[in-house]
Amino acid sequence: MSNKYETFIGLEIHIHLEANTKMFCGCKAQYGDEPNTNICPVCMGYPGVLPMVNEKAMELGYKVARALNCKLSKNTFFERKNYFYPDMPKNYQISQFEEPVGVDGWMDFDTPEGTKKIRIHDVHLEEDAGKMIHAGDMSLCDYNRAGYPLLEIVTEPDIKTPEDTELFLRNFQRMVRYMGVSDGNMDEGSMKCDANISINLVGKGLGTKVELKNMNSPRFVRKGLSYEEERQADMLDQGKALTQETRLWNENRDQTEVMRTKEEAEDYRYFPEPDLPIFRPDQTFFDLVESGLVELPLTRKHRMMEEYKLSADQAEYIHDDLYLADYFEEAVKLGGDSVQLFAWLSSDVKKLLNRENLSLQDSPLTASWLTELLELISSEAISGKIAKKVLDFVFSDKKSPKTIVEEKGMSQVSDPAVLTAAVDKVMAANPDVVEAIKGGDNKQRGFLMGQLMKETGGKAAPVPLQKILAEKLG
Amino acid sequence: MDTKELYHTASLARLELDEKEAEKLSREVSQMLEYFNHMLELDVSNLEPTTHALMKNNRLRRDVVAEQTVDPDEMLENAPDLEDRFVLIPNVL
Ligand SMILES: [Zn+2]
């Protein structure tokens, strides 16, 4: 986009909270069950029922708000957001408006240009709607998801580019995964992200806001925003006015399409939910929130760079997945060299995992076994080349590297007596080659080394072997 | 309340009004709003709004799956129409 314009992007992120039950009733919060099995009079909006807040969801909501550096509410409450749509049998959604669990926070994330800060407007709890399938002239409703505990995180329009938006979302996903509050999977619908974007001449402030929906991965959020940025710039270049509207990303056509134009502002007529008392957290609750805080991904990444001398890219790779990050640190504690560990984890181990279609978690290679393998190399018990074979056997035989090396006799031979005997034998068998080398034809040395490796079954330690050979050749 | 505002309010509540009803209601609603205006004259700037008069204590529920007291199948019998276990309604997309 031409640098005449400035872009402002804000996000509304929804995450399904890791809870056993729904937000306001004891129904199972679970995917994939038969339609309309996890329902009860509360989530089906029957008259006279009494919703009650799930304490786990409340705790997770505060934890996220705390991790996002928000001011935490001392008296949070719920409101009814009124709208008519059959995905919600009550004709309102219980949400938060006046006094959400947290407001005025911020989150840092890394970009190639350095760390950037995004302000968080608020973090609030609410319930998800049911799932609808539209087919022909009928619509099908499944209310298993109606009432599912949701947390919505609203950012200020602080993000400047679609690329940064994707990076921010990946950072955010990692954060909720590290915290164990949500699995953050966008393609499975446990995390959703709507974006709003406006562009304007540099220095003129926010432009006309367009909302974007229907993007089910951080990559699609970026693509949708890029498309929209270009479209809006073209409109402005042609002197056309932009319309405040909601658009849908169409991933098959790689474009955004109008969903609805906002002629009048939506009027949800929020009012306090009379059935749910105000929640005033006490010190014990705040202590619980504090005690559940974990080292967040970005902090961990920066610490790993510092502590293990990893580059930004290396630390980015290792910290991306919580299990990998823990595994790496465990291996370092066991004595593994951090750079070697990174090298193996990001290449040979990764290749094997892909080939076997396994996650590191499910593979037989524990952190201590990987460390053991690296020790075998550094102590010259095996060569790096043999180590790759050993790794293969660890996966197929599910035995430790040491056991495999012993059982299969794969250790290097560095005993001088054995090596000298081999050198003598090979030299005796190839007198003309020996003569040629002695006459100055150094190219033939490679041939002798090859013969020696054959003789020792590839197990001769190359360094002492070369030394002995050099001595013999004079 | 002017008629335009009344029609807007009615449409938010999904109520249909004919002209006669609108005329009658417009008068009645205006009267109600006047009562509220009296209340609005009071200075409450230092008071916390009383959203919940009788519920003073926190009330949370443990995150444990509750036994189903009403059979979901029974609830589905109240649906206008079903297909498999889905509630079937006219297309609303
Ligand atoms: Zn329920």
Whether the CA torsion A65, A68, A74, A79 is positive or negative: it is negative
Segment A253-267 shows an average pLDDT of 77
Segment A36-64 shows an average pLDDT of 96
Task: Give A263's pLDDT tier (boundaries 50, 70, 90).
Answer: low
Question: Would you tell me which residues 82-111 of chain A have a C-beta closer than 8 angstroms to some C-beta of chain B?
Answer: 82, 84-86
Chain B residues lying within 8 Å of A267, measured CB to CB: 12
Segment A189-201 shows an average pLDDT of 95
Return the SS3 of B81.
coil
> Considering chain B, what is the average pLDDT of its residues?
90
Beta strands in A214-368 (DSSP E): 245-250, 255-261, 271-272
* Token representation of residue A464: 């002492």
Domain coordinates in residue numbering, chain A: 5-288, 297-408, 416-473
Nearest-CA distance B75 → chain A (Å): 8
Q: Quick check: B1 and B30 in contact, CB under 8 A? A: yes
In CATH, the number for domain A416-473 is 1.10.10
Q: Quick check: A126 and A299 in contact, CB under 8 A? A: no
Q: Is A100 exposed, middle or buried (0-12, 13-18, 19+ CB in 10 A)?
A: buried
Chain B interface test: which of A16, A21, A101, A270 (most B C-beta within 10 Å): A21
Q: Which amino acid is residue A262, in one-letter code? A: K
Segment A39-45 shows an average pLDDT of 96
Q: Quick check: A400 and A394 in contact, CB under 8 A? A: yes
Of A425 and A14, which is predicted with more confidence? A14
Question: Would you tell me which residues 270-309 of chain A have a C-beta closer than 8 angstroms to some C-beta of chain B?
Answer: 272, 274, 276-282
Nearest-CA distance A364 → chain B (Å): 35
User: Over the stretch A354-388, which tens digit does the pLDDT of each residue have?
Assistant: 999 999 999 999 999 999 999 999 988 888 888 99
Minimum-distance CB partner of A26 among B58, B59, B66 = B66
Minimum-distance CB partner of B89 among A20, A54, A139 = A139
Tokens 């968080």 map to which residue?
A120
Residue of A nearest to B55 (CA): A277
Chain A residues lying within 8 Å of B68, measured CB to CB: 27, 40
Whether the CA torsion B68, B73, B74, B76 is positive or negative: it is positive
- Could you say which DSSP state residue A107 is in? E
Segment A265-273 shows an average pLDDT of 85
Q: How far apart are the first and last CA of chain A?
A: 70
Q: What is the pLDDT of residue A248?
A: 92
A25/B66 CB distance under 8 A: yes
- Could you say which DSSP state residue A413 is in? B
pLDDT higher than 90, residue A446: no
* Pairwise CA distance, residues B79 & A53, whole Å: 27
Residue closest to A321 by CA, chosen among A301, A347, A349: A301
pLDDT higher than 90, residue A456: no
To 10 degrees, the CA torsion angle through A171, A177, A180, A184? 100
Length of chain B: 93
Q: Which amino acid is residue A45, in one-letter code? A: G
Q: Which amino acid is residue B25, in one-letter code? A: L
What number of CA atoms fall less than 13 Å from residue A182's CA on the CB side?
A: 29
Q: Quick check: A89 and A130 in contact, CB under 8 A? A: yes
B88/A139 CB distance under 8 A: yes
Chain A residues lying within 8 Å of B56, measured CB to CB: 277
* Token representation of residue B63: 């995150």
Return the SS3 of A130.
coil
Tokens 């799956």 map to which residue?
B65
Q: What is the pLDDT of residue A1?
A: 64
Residue closest to A61 by CA, chosen among A288, A214, A229: A288
User: Over the stretch B19-44, which tens digit does the pLDDT of each residue have?
Assistant: 899 989 999 999 999 999 999 999 98
Q: What is the pLDDT of residue A264?
A: 58
ipTM given for this complex? 0.88
